[in-house]
Amino acid sequence: EPEVTQTPSHQVTQMGQEVILRCVPISNHLYFYWYRQILGQKVEFLVSFYNNEISEKSEIFDDQFSVERPDGSNFTLKIRSTKLEDSAMYFCASSRTGGLFNEQFFGPGTRLTVL
Amino acid sequence: KQEVTQIPAALSVPEGENLVLNCSFTDSAIYNLQWFRQDPGKGLTSLLLIQSSQREQTSGRLNASLDKSSGRSTLYIAASQPGDSATYLCAVDGGATNKLIFGTGTLLAVQP
């Protein structure tokens, strides 16, 4: 069964460093998302991406964040200068359609630890 | 602003029991409600998607219902098993947007 994959599973970085989290969505999906979950808190939406552009972003997704689909398979989240509060589990998700049939499938997550 | 609440926060039941998890949301202008399962330190596994025009969906021992007008959904698990132990999350989309808004989850423990 097709699934969303993410690498790395765990990333440790120093405050102020840049990190890139990678995702391979399900191959025939057209909508891509990043969410994050700080330990013990709700899963929060960061950004959605469709047709090679951002369709929506949350207040969390400030200028330090960017997303890219560099080729036909990968979807990346970049954090330019990490802060301690960026420590969280980051989930990539994809869906085949939007609107009424928007069932989102999630990857296993990347645990980001900022020291 | 959409708010999603799940009750109870935690539940412990003996194996074989039927159980109900509750989810409520404040804005009924949704397209879909999705139930997920999350194992400790793992990703989210989609269990069921209910579209706004549907009243319920079934998958194996799981049955999810949706009452959009009252802003409520329930997840019914029949004949619970220890392998069902996990956190169960419900999420609604934003109606006009595709982003999912999650509840805090119900931590389920099924005792053998």
The verdict on a CB contact (< 8 Å) between B49 and A103 is yes
Residue among B21, B18, B16, B19 nearest B4 (CA): B21
Question: Which among B72, B66, B36, B35 is positioned nearest to B53, based on CA atoms?
Answer: B66
* Average model confidence (pLDDT) across chain A: 94
A104-115 tens-digit pLDDT: 999 999 999 999
User: Residue A70 — very low, low, confident or very high, per pLDDT cuts 50/70/90?
Assistant: confident
Q: Which helix or strand (DSSP H or E) is residue B13 part of? A: strand B10-14
The percentage of residues in chain A with a pLDDT greater than 90, rounded to a whole number, is 87
CA–CA min distance A33, chain B (Å): 8
Between the alpha carbon of residue B73 and those of residues A19, A42, B16, B54, B108, the distances in Å are 38, 18, 23, 11, 17
Return the structure tokens found at A102. 């928007």
User: Which DSSP letter does residue A96 get?
Assistant: S
* Inter-chain CB pairs, A–B, below 8 Å: 66
For A22-32, write each residue's pLDDT tens digit.
999 999 999 99
> Could you give the CA distance from residue B17 to residue A5 in angstroms, rounded to a whole number?
35
Measured between CB atoms, does B93 come within 8 Å of chain A?
A: yes
Say if residues B50 and B62 touch (Cβ distance below 8 Å).
no
pLDDT confidence of residue B1: 87
A31–B100 C-beta distance less than 8 A: no
Q: Best interface-test mutation with A: which of B49, B54, B98 has the largest number of A CBs within 10 A?
A: B98
Using a CB-CB cut-off of 8 Å, the residues of chain A touching B53 are 100
Q: Compute the mean pLDDT over every residue in chain B, rounded to the nearest whole number.
A: 94
